[in-house]
A and B are shown apart, each in its own frame.
Chain A
Amino acid sequence: MSSEKIIPHSEAAAKFNKDVERVNWHDETLWFVREKRDRSAHQIPDWELIRETASKIKNNVLSNIHDYLVQFEENALKNGVIVHWAADGKEHNEIVHSILEKHKVTQMVKSKSMLTEECHLNDYLAEKGIEVIDSDLGEYIVQLRKEPPSHIVLPAIHLKKEDVSETFHEHLGTEKGNFNPQYLTESARHSLRNTFLTRKAALTGVNFAIAETGEFVVCTNEGNADMGAHLADVHIASMGFEKLIPQRKHLGVFLRLLARSATGQPITTFSSHFKKPRDGKEIHIVIVDNGRSTQLGRPEFRNSLKCIRCGACMNTCPVYRRSGGHSYHNAVAGPIGSILAPNLDMSKNADLPFASTLCGSCTNVCPVKIDIHDQLYKWRQVLVKEGHTPTAKTAAMKTMATVLANPTVFNIAGKSGRFVMKNIPSLVNNKMNKWYDQREMPAVPEESFREWYKKNSRASKAKDNEQ
């Protein structure tokens, strides 16, 4: 994904929308998940108070993150865990590689970690001759298909069971044409069980890291993080530094919110707290910055670091649901991805904050109350100011600014616009007009409001009466 030419979101979305039936299905499937989230949240009388509390805890983390990181490392070291620090994705990958090299490991099993997607770890390790198998079922499916995940919680949500069946037939030798999810899952279970039993190293993500105790928590439904970690000699846990929370008791707040917001479950099947390695085994934690400290320094955007990666903003987003995760060309898609991505690379991701209707639904469901749609709006302004928007759009906006700033020009423009649309519509209803591209032009009014007002205002009527 890193080296390929990036297709802008609107273009990728247009392609995704060609298959109407499939887009409708994608839309409905994600909305179904959003509805499950609602039902689950409404069962908790204190839901809004819990969201507010989570938001406050994360605000506290942002203002004390330096001290919490120092405290976390100190406690993790006391627990016998080895701690590494990586300034960027490259250093993260090098650290992981050096650990594997030291243990002479050439095959590793990995549970879900969006951070390793962000760092492109699999590609890096493949170049070094190390094979990585993703063990989350959704991630396993997309890995076999050589695709990135399209959703942070539901990596294969863009695929239908027929697609999965085809992929498994090709790679695992399952029956052709057997689309039964039970059968397909069972086949993956067998294949991956063998992987778990034979790998000496396992990498997992981190959902929460606790400064007070030096432990970290990994949440899964499948049990794949645990199967990997408890059978391996070396467990590597990769975390962005914003995963920190101050104290163990704060988990009570976040574990109540996470799964309910994500899939509507009351909690994930497993919420595993890793504190010390097993006797004679190793746990490594890699703490990654990769642009996070820069984002921390942007007051309008630092709130995005509160994210707990539940995916609720994606499930509810009308644009995400109808454009698919891959159209965002970033490890994290959807509304939250669109406010994180420009921080990583402004010019590459300049299109993403525009992939929104600014309806605010994302903000309303966010369990840690990130002002997502406000940030999308603010990013647009930053991107235009820094010259990252397409020339046509910039030129159009500049012209618009001149027209709106000058009443005489505004008047003439309005009149000529109405004349053209009425008499020579083909002049505006064509491909050169980017606005017409996805919209119908409005019906032409007989007169402008200004003209109407001149005739009908009290002052002009009084004048008429005098005459």
Chain B
Amino acid sequence: MSSKAAILNKIKQNKPEFVSELPDLSVLGSDQFDVLEKYKTTLKSIGGDFVEVSGIEEVKAYIKNNYALEKRIITTIPELSEIASLDWENDDPHSLQDVELTIIKGHFGVAENSAIWVTDEILGQRAAPFIAQYLSIIVDKNTIIPTMHQAYEKIGNQDYGFGTFIAGPSKTADIEQSLVLGAHGARGLVVFLVD
């Protein structure tokens, strides 16, 4: 008998006799707070930062003023071609090792934990938000929802190869519980909140 058959047989034999029903999730996620304010304070509390902008021109201006433009900046957003390159999506992901800043769009933000949902279609490459020294994500303010329950309602049965929630910069506290930003992924995250 294959291991699969053996495992499944034993599970069938040993599982509880009674069947527990799945609970109702619709009663969850009614947390009351100002969604945008909650998003901003949470993001700050986990080491991220935000800039409120009215459009892509302000994003450009902020990046020009705050990042080293002579270093490698990549994006998946055509409107940013003036400050970042767009022609890397089919390259070997290892070639992204010298990227200073990755700028991408997020599908939506979650207020309770400041996470942003991103998937293959807006990442360009799966490694792009992780391998860069710094990360910027542009999110439409109006897409921010209160909790993870609304997040999965929104995701529904969306098809993707890879998707991830990103909440703040990469971090660790593995040495004596001292928080250090920039463990393996981005050292800093700036979220552009667009009207």
A-side residues, CB < 8 A to B, are 29, 32-33, 44-46, 49-50, 52-53, 56-57, 59-60, 62-66, 69-70, 85-87, 91, 135-138, 141, 154-157, 159-161, 164, 181-182, 184-186, 189, 192-193, 196-197, 213, 221-224, 226-227, 229-231, 241, 246, 248-253, 255-256, 263, 265-278, 287, 289, 293-294, 296-297, 299, 302
- Contact flags (1/0) for B31-58 with A, using CB distance below 8 Å? 1100000000010001000000000000
Does B72 sit within 8 A of A, measured CB to CB? no
Do B21 and A275 touch (CB < 8 A)?
A: no
Do A252 and B25 touch (CB < 8 A)?
A: yes
Contact A64/B19 with A156-B174, A231-B93, A249-B25 known, Cβ cut-off 8 Å: yes
Residues of A within 8 A of B115 (CB): 267, 271
- Contact flags (1/0) for B96-128 with A, using CB distance below 8 Å? 010000000000000011110000000001110
Main secondary structure of the interface of A (DSSP, over half): helix
Do A189 and B184 touch (CB < 8 A)?
A: yes
Nearest Cβ on chain A to B106's Cβ, whole angstroms? 13
Residues of A within 8 A of B20 (CB): 56, 59-60, 62-63
Nearest Cβ on chain A to B49's Cβ, whole angstroms? 14
* Chain A residue, CB-CB nearest to B16: A63
User: Which of A60, A227, A265, A273 contacts B46 (CB under 8 A)?
Assistant: A265
Do B126 and A278 touch (CB < 8 A)?
A: yes
Does B13 sit within 8 A of A, measured CB to CB? yes
Do B19 and A271 touch (CB < 8 A)?
A: no
B-side residues, CB < 8 A to A, are 2-4, 6-8, 10-16, 18-23, 25, 27-32, 42, 46, 93-94, 97, 112-115, 125-127, 130-131, 147-149, 151-153, 155, 157, 160-178, 180, 182-186
Contact A87/B23 with A185-B180, A222-B171, A223-B183 known, Cβ cut-off 8 Å: no
Residues of A within 8 A of B14 (CB): 293-294, 296-297
Contact A256/B152 with A65-B15, A138-B174, A263-B173 known, Cβ cut-off 8 Å: no
Q: In the bound complex, how far is the Cα of B186 from the Cα of A222, in angstroms? A: 9
Nearest Cβ on chain A to B144's Cβ, whole angstroms? 14
Q: In the bound complex, how far is the Cα of B163 from the Cα of A213, in angstroms? A: 13
Residues of B within 8 A of A161 (CB): 175-176, 178
Q: In the bound complex, how far is the Cα of B16 from the Cα of A164, in angstroms? A: 46
Residues of A within 8 A of B18 (CB): 63
* Chain B residue, CB-CB nearest to A297: B14
Do B162 and A274 touch (CB < 8 A)?
A: yes
Which of A33, A45, A263, A272 has the most B CB atoms < 10 Å from its CB? A272
Nearest Cβ on chain A to B187's Cβ, whole angstroms? 9
Residues of A within 8 A of B175 (CB): 137, 141, 156, 159, 161, 164, 181, 184-185
Which of A181, A186, A269, A278 has the most B CB atoms < 10 Å from its CB? A269
Do A271 and B183 touch (CB < 8 A)?
A: no
Do B16 and A302 touch (CB < 8 A)?
A: yes
User: Which of B31, B113, B178 contacts A181 (CB under 8 A)?
Assistant: B178
Given A65-B15, A230-B131, A289-B10, 8 additional A-B pairs, CB 8 A: A141-B174, A161-B175, A221-B183, A224-B183, A241-B11, A251-B152, A267-B167, A268-B167
User: Which of B93, B153, B165 contacts A230 (CB under 8 A)?
Assistant: B93
Q: In the bound complex, how far is the Cα of B18 from the Cα of A251, in angstroms? A: 24
* Chain B residue, CB-CB nearest to A260: B113
The 4 lowest CB-CB distance pairs between A and B, nearest first, are A223-B185, A297-B14, A222-B183, A266-B113
Residues of A within 8 A of B31 (CB): 44-46
Can you list 25 A-B contacts (CB < 8 A)? A32-B177, A33-B177, A45-B31, A53-B23, A53-B28, A60-B21, A62-B15, A62-B20, A69-B11, A87-B7, A137-B172, A137-B175, A137-B183, A141-B174, A154-B173, A155-B174, A185-B183, A222-B172, A252-B147, A253-B149, A269-B166, A269-B171, A271-B165, A287-B7, A299-B16
User: Which of A70, A213, A273 contacts B8 (CB under 8 A)?
Assistant: A70
Do B183 and A189 touch (CB < 8 A)?
A: yes
Nearest Cβ on chain B to A74's Cβ, whole angstroms? 12
* Chain A residue, CB-CB nearest to B159: A275
Do B149 and A252 touch (CB < 8 A)?
A: yes
User: Which of A189, A248, A276 contacts B155 (CB under 8 A)?
Assistant: A248
Nearest Cβ on chain A to B32's Cβ, whole angstroms? 8
